[in-house]
Amino acid sequence: MDLNPWLDRTKLVVCVGAGGVGKTTTAAAIALRGALSGRRTMVLTIDPARRLANSLGLDQFGNREARIDLSGMEGVKPGGELWAMMLDARSTFDALIHRVAPSDEVRERILANHVYRHMADTFAGSQDYMASEKIYDVAALGTYDLLVLDTPPVKNALDFLESPGRLVNFLDERVLSWFLDGSRSSRGGMMFGTSKVVFYLLGRVFGEQFIDDLSQFFRDFEGLYEGFRKRHQEVLDMFRAPTTQFVTVCAPSESSVDVASFFLSEFERRALPCGGIIVNQVHACSGQTHDAESVLGATARSLGGDLPPAVAASVVARLGMAHRRLHTLAMADHALARGLKSRYSGRLPGFFQEVPRMEDEVHDLPSLREVGRALFDQDAAPLSS
């Protein structure tokens, strides 16, 4: 199965998986591959750590789109560009308010609200929420042919798909009116029984001042609900489009394969388009064991003629041990990868690809290109067979 046509027809690749499996590197390598093939490509990360910048050889970059200089690369097809962006939840949130606010006055009130200012910075999951917001924005602009999204290493599911739902749920008109009635009536009136008690307690626990701030915030937000709901639906539609492909990345370790399995079952459950599975950092070894002396002994002695005689012998012995260790690791990796593949064969569409561990750490464009070659220049196995 050739993965090049797969990438050609894909407009959004979402990479998910455990931490430390090379997810960011994989996302950057896929994006670079897209750029080399002549597409205007953007890779976007939600990761609070500066990992993507690291792997692109940049010192740092912020919420702004940064163009990666490909002039040193050979064979970039015409039109090919690589852009990268790291999210700043706050400014994305502000932009969203600008878009959905019914009037300038409401917008200014919200932006200045005490609760809003904290929410934009710290709202649980707002990073994730803003990622889906931002990627929708970037996709809607239509200026990029290919988008690659690198997600944070959260164990708990595809939170970034859920958090907009959380916000919309709260802004649900019924909840809003409960809250607004409560705050109007907490000083006498309209609300009775349990609701009144609960509301009173919320005030006692969280402080009257906070409840007042929050009520003001909700009053301003009332008119925004419809806009939020509509956008949430559009974002979900984008993630479910056939030109979107979710790819799960894992390393040959029990725990990351376990996380990958979890994501794969989530793809099934949420009807998300499954692109495939990438097992990264696989130790490669021909699978044969040999005696180091017969393989290298004579060569080492002749090359080390000017060195003390013990040097050649110890190097040969050392290479023998290193190779045995590599062989053991490669066998274990292979068994783990095979197990994962057989578990999902026939259950999900998509590909299964192994990427060997690179000899050096991947943190510049040439080494990202190598990862891309390993990913795209060798046939992948189809999961569907």
73 versus 329: smaller Cβ distance to another protein: 329
Asked whether position 49 contacts another protein by CB under 8 A, the answer is yes
Please give the DSSP secondary-structure letter assigned to residue 353. E
Q: Should residue 338 be labelled a site residue for another protein when binding is judged by CB under 8 A?
A: no
Task: Tell me the closest approach of the beta carbon of residue 67 to another protein, in angstroms.
Answer: 22
243 binds another protein per the rule CB under 8 A:
no
User: How far from the centroid of its chain's Cα atoms is residue 112's Cα?
Assistant: 32
With the CA atoms of 205, 208, 212 and 218 taken in that order, what torsion angle do they form, in degrees rounded to the nearest 10? Answer: 10
Shortest spacing between CB 193 and another protein, in angstroms: 10
Q: Give the C-alpha separation, 292 to 298, whole Å.
A: 10
Binding another protein by CB under 8 A: which of 315, 345, 349, 370? 315
Q: Which is nearer to another protein, 172 or 234 (CB)?
A: 172
If one counts every other C-beta atom within 10 angstroms of the C-beta of residue 363, the result is 16
x/- mask, another protein, residues 175-204, rule CB under 8 A, reads x--xx--------------xx-xx--xxxx
40 scored as a contact of another protein (CB under 8 A): no
Can you tell me which of 64, 67, 325, 343 binds another protein, judged by CB under 8 A?
Answer: 325
3-state secondary structure 246-280: EEEEECCCHHHHHHHHHHHHHHHHHCCCEEEEEEE
Instruction: State the number of binding residues for another protein (CB under 8 A).
Output: 93
DSSP letters for 173-198: HHHHHHHHHHHHHTTSSS--HHHHHH
| Residues 73-112 within binding reach of another protein (CB under 8 A) | none
Q: Per-residue DSSP letters for 127-166?
A: HHHHHHHHHHHHHHHT--SEEEEEPP--SSS-HHHHHHHH
For position 292 contacting another protein by CB under 8 A, the verdict is yes
Q: Do residues 70 and 35 touch, judged by C-beta distance below 8 A?
A: yes
Which of 239, 266, 17 lies closest to 147, judged by CA? 239
> Based on CB atoms, which residue is closest to another protein, 76 or 313?
313
User: Which residues, numbered 138-167, are part of the site for another protein (CB under 8 A)?
Assistant: 152-157, 166-167
Least distance (Å) between residue 90 CB and another protein: 12
Residue with Cβ nearer another protein (53 or 138): 53
* Per CB under 8 A, 320 contacts another protein: yes
Provide the 10 A C-beta neighbour count for residue 322: 11
When binding is defined by CB under 8 A, the residue of 108, 208, 234, 377 that contacts another protein is 208
Mark 12-31 with x for binding to another protein (rule: CB under 8 A) and - for no binding: ------xxxx----------
Burial zone of 51 (CB within 10 Å; 0-12 exposed, 13-18 middle, 19+ buried)? buried
Single out the residue of 95, 119, 180, 236 in contact with another protein (rule: CB under 8 A).
119
